[in-house]
Amino acid sequence: MQKHNCRGGQRANPPSSSGASPTTESRNPRSMNLDMLDTEGILTLINSEDQKVAQAVAQEIPNITQAVDMIAERLDLGGRLFYVGAGTSGRLGVLDLAELKPTFGVGRDKVEAIIAGGPPAITESVEDAEDNFDGGGEELQKRGISDKDVVVGIAASGSTPFVLGALKTAREAGAATIGLACNSPSKLRECADVSIEVVVGPEVLTGSTRMKAGTAQKMVLNMMSTAAMVKLGKAYENLMVDMQATNIKLRRRAVGMVKATTGVTDDEAQRLLDAAQFDLKTAIVMGKLNVDQPTAKQLLADAKGFVRTAIANGQR
């Protein structure tokens, strides 16, 4: 079902002048003798190509910036963030958002990844699911997509019908839309308010977009979600202060964070965390200002969860 009629927004960078042939499907002249290389030669070639990825991502920072600001704004206003993808792109979306709850305390009520073919497609190939143009939109409609939300469509080719259909439905609902592709210009651009097109060039193994394209997508998704969470006050200095301390390793990390930010001993850090019911932000504010738990919680509430602001207000 190859249908879409979206009209996209403006890119921060001028469009590429590349031809119509998708870069992700082109053959890489550097790897034409891939099957003749020894093991070290194969690995050296792959590594050499991988080094191009970060540079390609850097070229898209102006567009990634727009995307992050859009995501943070919608989440701050009570909206939700959806990632939509198929195959490798969908799995990378699942991976990125699955980490947001333990890292930032943000769960599926605020962020959710949708993959063509549903949960079975996370571990097994359901390749024909990506051709269902209406499927992506139907998944968003099931979740009550609205004008408060933001949807990121992820497709290395930039033309996956499932993803295009999701963005079309999202735009019709008034949601903000972002496209992440590895071709330029891509069809995703026509369906997105902001388009991110990271052109990493042909893969070492022709068409295997789990390689450079997948690496680029993972980098961008990590950048977007991390930066958005920082802008929402979920970091203090460079610490993940909304982390959920759900196991021994993370509880030890929490003690280390309180100790590092307040200068107290291990025992005092543990006492502060216990008094704060293991809420890291509260424990840090208590330790920095020498205040009780109710006072620290009120300071944080007044500061909308930003630890640095809460501490500054408490020192006045």
Residues taking part in catalysis: 99, 130
Closest listed residue to residue 113, CA positions, set 141, 131, 89, 79: 89
State how far the Cα of 142 lies from the Cα of 181, in Å rounded to an integer. Answer: 25
CA quadruple 20, 22, 27, 29: dihedral sign:
positive
CB-CB contact of 147 with 174 (8 Å):
yes
Neighbours of 15 (CB within 10 A): 12
Tokens 């050499």 belong to which residue? 48
Cross-strand bridge partners of residue 282: none
CB-CB contact of 268 with 284 (8 Å):
no
Strand order in the sheet with 150-154: 111-115, 81-85, 150-154, 176-181, 194-197
Q: What burial class does residue 205 get, using C-beta atoms within 10 Å of its C-beta: 0-12 exposed, 13-18 middle, 19+ buried?
A: middle
Tokens 């998944």 belong to which residue? 139
Closest listed residue to residue 254, CA positions, set 289, 291, 232, 283: 283
Tokens 């990590």 belong to which residue? 222
Q: Which two tokens stand for residue 251?
A: 């509880």
Closest listed residue to residue 2, CA positions, set 151, 114, 168: 168
Kindly list the distances between the CA atom of residue 16 and the CA atoms of 13, 23, 70, 163, in Å, as whole numbers in the listed order.
9, 12, 23, 22
Parallel, antiparallel, or unpaired: how do β-strands 176-181 and 111-115 relate? unpaired
